[in-house]
Structure 1
Amino acid sequence: MKNRPTLILLAWVLLAPALLLNTASAQTTERIKDHNTNGWYMYFGDHKVADRWGIHAEVQLRRHNTIKNPQQLLFRTGVNYDLTPTAMFTLGYGFIETHPYGDYPAAGTFPEQRIYEQLQLKGNIARVGLSHRYRLEQRWVKQPGAADYTYLNRARYMIKATLPLVGPSLEPKEPFLAAYDEVFVGFGENVKQNIFDQNRAYVALGYKISNSSSLELGYLNQIVQKANGVVFEHNHTLQVSFFHTLNFAKQD
């Protein structure tokens, strides 16, 4: 298989951070592991409204115990601008409501409001499609019982790979494999013990429904360091994602 070395390298890049974090936490006896089983059911839409401009729309219903109990509800929107055919900048807003879950839950349900700036780059290595996502977040979190919001900064980087399973390129009505790794880092005066915020490692089977839509069914291994720096969540998550694009721009 001509692309085997490339795929092995990509697999290591995508999955090594999660493996290293698991090893580190196992070697530090004072850290507490909190294992959970979750389900995330998500819609992602990027809809073009002009030659270079578009709108991002996103809804995520996140459930604890796969589907039984609430975990989070996330709404995210933004304005997209195509810098080049392979680079897109987004400025957006998100609202997140988090519910208590797990063996070390929050004291109650709490909201978060967020502004973010994002750069996405796309390319490929042979048959493997690659995307890089760089995101900065300005977060206002109101902890349970608090009178005011706490301001936090966070940086995120994600690399995602997709591999067609039928031909040299991904066409409608064809399956594909997808994998990504995303690392989160907090910074600023209000970030205490958890400068490392979380890591997400993901693998999925996808299906390209049409030129404008695709579906992914996958497994997400999410490691979250709680604010106290002691409790580490290991969230084993079923992830169902629907991606959709529409073009409202005038066609010449």
Structure 2
Amino acid sequence: MLKLFKTSLSAFFLLSSISIAFAQTSITPSTPWGTWFIGTVQLPGGPKKWGGFAEVQARTNGLFSQYFYNELKGGVSYDLDKNFTVMLAGGRYATYDYKAVSEGTLTLEKRFWEQLIINQYLARVKFEHRYRVEQRWLESRDGTISYRNRIRYRLNGFLPINQKTVSPGAFFLSVYDEIFLNPKGPTFERNRLYAGLGYQFSKSLIVQAGWVNQTNYNPATFNQGVFTPISGSGKNNLVLNLTYRINRHKGKATSPAERLPSQPD
């Protein structure tokens, strides 16, 4: 058992190391920390394999101050089997000037996406592979509307600390790295790296707190004989996440006992 735990722990920290190495650090380390607040209601797949979620999110430019951004989104999912889930979802994303929120949005985005999730249960370590294709409509304050596509991939690892599974009464570690790709270029648009600690109070209630670094990248340019390499600007944030799962009636559930506490965002 001890050997198995050590192997699982090594695999989890290997994921962490790969994620940190892959995600380049921000070139603006002096940027003040922000805060992400995430509240999610989930309906896991049941007897007929249909499920869904609804989520609200708010972000601040400073730590618990300078509100500037919110998200409202939801979707419908279908479990192909216990390890494969597809989803159709959409959302509304509003960005404000934190110094003048009352003046309205700087950018209002409406987004639709298709998603596939593949789960792996390897002893104590659990992995989630998430593939997403997004269609995005963005409207700026001056009325300009643009359309963009984007592809995202996230590798999320979980390690329960005091139990073998992520279930009621379990503390767990979560680490993920997500890349954002633009089909038209620049191809590598954004990287998001997260590490956090969570606790599952019951079958319904899960809380997580952690750190996320989101870095946006600008393409390399060659203008008038001057080459400018790829540059990135990033920001560290404190993440506070509350998830509530709607449990179906006893005796009717066919889903696996362990469900990974991944964040839909």
TM-score band, normalised by the shorter chain? 0.7 to 0.9
Match of 1:137 in 2: 134
User: After superposition, what is the alpha-carbon deviation per residue over 1:45-78, rounded to whole angstroms, capped at 9, x for unaligned?
Assistant: 2214762111211111111102211221001111
Q: Read off the aligned partner of 1:10 and give its amino acid letter.
A: L
**Cα offset, 1:249, TM superposition:** 6.9
Choose the corresponding residue for 1:109, options 106, 111, 127: 106
2: CA distance, partners of 1:163 / 1:154: 30
Please give the secondary structure, in 2, of the residue aligned with 1:8: helix
Please give the secondary structure, in 2, of the residue aligned with 1:13: helix
Choose the corresponding residue for 1:196, options 153, 169, 188: 188
**Cα offset, 1:33, TM superposition:** 7.4
User: After superposition, what is the alpha-carbon deviation per residue over 1:14-37, rounded to whole angstroms, capped at 9, x for unaligned?
Assistant: 22221xx23xx76xxxxx778242
TM superposition score normalised by structure 2 = 0.79
Please give the secondary structure, in 1, of the residue aligned with 2:33: strand
CA contact (8 A) 1:72 1:96 kept: yes
Matches for 1:208-219 after TM superposition, within 5 Å: 208-219=200-211
User: After superposition, what is the alpha-carbon deviation per residue over 1:137-187, rounded to whole angstroms, capped at 9, x for unaligned?
Assistant: 100011232x34100011111111111111322331221111111111112
Percent of aligned pairs with the same residue? 29
Match of 1:67 in 2: 64
Q: How many residues align?
A: 234
**Shift in alpha-carbon separation, 1:155–1:76, aligned structure 2, 3 A:** same
Match of 2:176 in 1: 180
Q: Read off the aligned partner of 1:124 and give its amino acid letter.
A: Y
**Cα RMSD (Å):** 2.7
Q: Read off the aligned partner of 1:167 and give its amino acid letter.
A: Q
Matches for 1:24-63 after TM superposition, within 5 Å: 35-48=31-44, 51-63=48-60
Choose the corresponding residue for 2:14, options 9, 14, 19: 9
Matches for 1:149-168 after TM superposition, within 5 Å: 149-168=145-164
Unaligned runs of 5+ in 1: 27-31
Unaligned runs of 5+ in 2: 1-5, 222-229, 253-265
2: CA distance, partners of 1:70 / 1:226: 25
Q: Which runs of 4+ in 1 moved over 4 A?
A: 226-231, 248-252
**Cα offset, 1:201, TM superposition:** 0.7
**Shift in alpha-carbon separation, 1:219–1:52, aligned structure 2, 3 A:** same
Q: Read off the aligned partner of 1:93 and give its amino acid letter.
A: G
Match of 2:84 in 1: 87
CA contact (8 A) 1:219 1:238 kept: yes
Determine if the alignment matches structure 1 residue 207 to structure 2 residue 199.
yes
Please give the secondary structure, in 2, of the residue aligned with 1:3: helix
Q: Read off the aligned partner of 2:53 and give its amino acid letter.
A: H
2: CA distance, partners of 1:136 / 1:167: 35
Pick which of 50-59 and 157-166 moved more.
50-59
Match of 1:225 in 2: 217
TM superposition score normalised by structure 1 = 0.82
